Amino acid sequence: MLAPYLIGRRGPGAYVGSSGEGDGGFVEPPVVTTTSSGDTTVKGQVKPGSFGKFVYPLATLTAGRKYTFRYTPQFSQLAQQGKLAMVGFGLKNGNDFHIVGLRGNGSTGLNKYKVYGTPPNGWNKDIGHTTSDGGAAAAGSQAGPNYIRLIVSDDGSTYIFQTSANGTAWSTEYSGSAPTPFSNVSGVITFGIALWFSNADAGPFSIVIDQFADALAGDPYFANVVLLCGFDGING
């Protein structure tokens, strides 16, 4: 069992940077802050009329591993107040991308959702992305906090996406899903927490990630992520 690690391992104080990847759909590039306690906050402002996307790297995506994080969104200042905002796992390489996660259903609930694209409808702030609405999610709320998990198959060609309200009981939302447009996760360069906003949205937002785990897919110690706080370590 590996000892806990803070996200970013910055040491005392706070670290501020913009090492994530955005698509131009923001007034300024979102800013990422990691505190000494391990909490990571992403803050930004969505540009009106843009499908703003942002991925902040948390780990190297590898076959046979599972990735879990807990997040709390602050979307009340958005024009749609989180009703159309999405938080999930982002897979990216150049202009090819795939995001799977939870998105506001236009009312008060959350749906499981995918969005992906390749050039010319790839990593840009305009229309043309492919979306897939999977319907109501088994767990999660627009206010959070929410737990989400990505389990990559041993051959790297598919994944399982799960949600939890408490980090203990997990529901499978997608199973055997291909990370389209990638044929295998080995083709992914940037992997981490992802945000996607509708072009009907605009305004400031923030999101806090206070738990993250990267473990072997079958590791029982990491079955209950509620034990974790501020992880970026790898338990192999």
Q: What is the pLDDT of residues 142-161, one digit of tens each?
A: 999 999 999 999 999 999 99
DSSP state of 143: S
Helix (H) or strand (E) holding 135: strand 130-136
Distance (Å, rounded) from C-alpha 59 to C-alpha 232? 7
pLDDT-based confidence at 14, cuts 50/70/90?
very low
Confidence band of 126 (pLDDT split at 50, 70, 90): confident
Instruction: Return the pLDDT at 125.
Output: 83
The rounded distance, in Å, linking the Cα atoms of 110 and 34 is 27
Indicate the range of 13-27, 142-156, 165-179 predicted with least confidence: 13-27
Please tell me the predicted confidence (pLDDT) of residue 221. Answer: 56
Q: Encoding tokens for residue 33?
A: 């802050």
Length of the chain in terms of residues written: 236
> What is the pLDDT at residue 12?
32
Q: What is the model's pTM?
A: 0.87
pLDDT reading at 220 higher than 90: no
Q: Which residues contact 100 (CB under 8 A, 6 or more apart)?
A: 88, 89, 112, 113, 114, 150, 159, 161, 174, 177
Banded model confidence at residue 191, pLDDT cuts 50, 70, 90 = very high
Phi, psi dihedral angles at 159 (to 5 degrees): -145, 165
**Structure confidence at residue 128 as a pLDDT band (50, 70, 90):** confident
pLDDT tens across 85-110, in order?
999 999 999 999 999 999 999 999 99
Task: Flag whether pLDDT at 229 surpasses 90.
Answer: no
54: pLDDT strictly greater than 90:
yes
Fold of 14-235: Jelly Rolls (2.60.120)
Upstream peptide bond of 4 is cis (omega within 30 degrees of 0):
no
Q: How do strand 234-235 and strand 203-216 relate by DSSP bridges?
A: parallel
Q: What is the mean pLDDT of the chain?
A: 86
Token duo for residue 79: 């024009």
Q: Would you say residue 48 has pLDDT above 90?
A: yes
DSSP string for 6-75: -TT---SSEEEE--SEE-S-BSS--EEEEETTS-EEEEEEEPTT---EEEEE-S---TTEEEEEEEEEE-
Q: What is the distance between the alpha carbons of residues 145 and 71, in angstroms, rounded to a whole number?
A: 5
For residue 145, cis peptide bond before it (omega within 30 degrees of 0) = yes
- The pLDDT of residue 38 is 79
Tell me the average pLDDT across 114-141: 91
**Predicted pLDDT at 122:** 85
State residue 59's pLDDT score.
Answer: 92
